[in-house]
Homo-oligomer: A and B are copies of this chain.
Amino acid sequence: MVDVNGIAGQIGRIREKANALVEDELKRRNIKGIVAAHGHVLAFLLRQKRPVAIREVVEHVRRVKSTVTVTIRTLERHGYVRKSPSETDARVTYVELTAKGRGLQKDFEEISEMLRSRLYGDMSEKDRERLVRQLDRIEANLSQ
């Protein structure tokens, strides 16, 4: 992180604090084996109605496939996820949430809501919208 004192540093710090908050809350709820980093994969799987190929997960999760491999293995070890081979293509492996995994839905939503409200505090609706728009703009600027 260059620009430690500028906006980039600020954004970095916010992200770290948000992360820490989520980790604390997971611990407080006694949810084992899940850390904030699994959020992307989990969020994606929660939106699925049926098993999806690991490749699909990779495409939606902004993580390299080797990373997804081990994330899924971890989730599997803790019983949140189940893998199964495709019957039509021996290369592909499907993943889906187990009952235990689907059980995270509520916590997931509550933690998201908690984070949002902690983060915004008593900021007005107008300001929130403006802020998100500005962040959109920044994100777009960095993406070109």
Residues of A within 8 A of B (CB): 1-4, 6-8, 10-19, 21-22, 36-37, 39-40, 43-44, 62, 108, 111-112, 115-116, 118-121, 123, 127, 130-132, 134-139, 141-143
- 8 Å CB contact of A112 from B2, B44, B142, B143: B2
User: Nearest-CB distance from A39 to chain B (Å)?
Assistant: 4
B14 touches A139 (CB 8 A): yes
- 8 Å CB contact of A10 from B19, B39, B120, B136: B136
- 8 Å CB contact of A138 from B14, B138, B139: B14
A13 touches B62 (CB 8 A): yes
Give the complex CA separation of A37 and B22 in angstroms.
22
User: Nearest-CB distance from A122 to chain B (Å)?
Assistant: 9
Assuming A17-B142, A18-B8, A118-B142, is B134 touching A123 (CB within 8 A)? yes
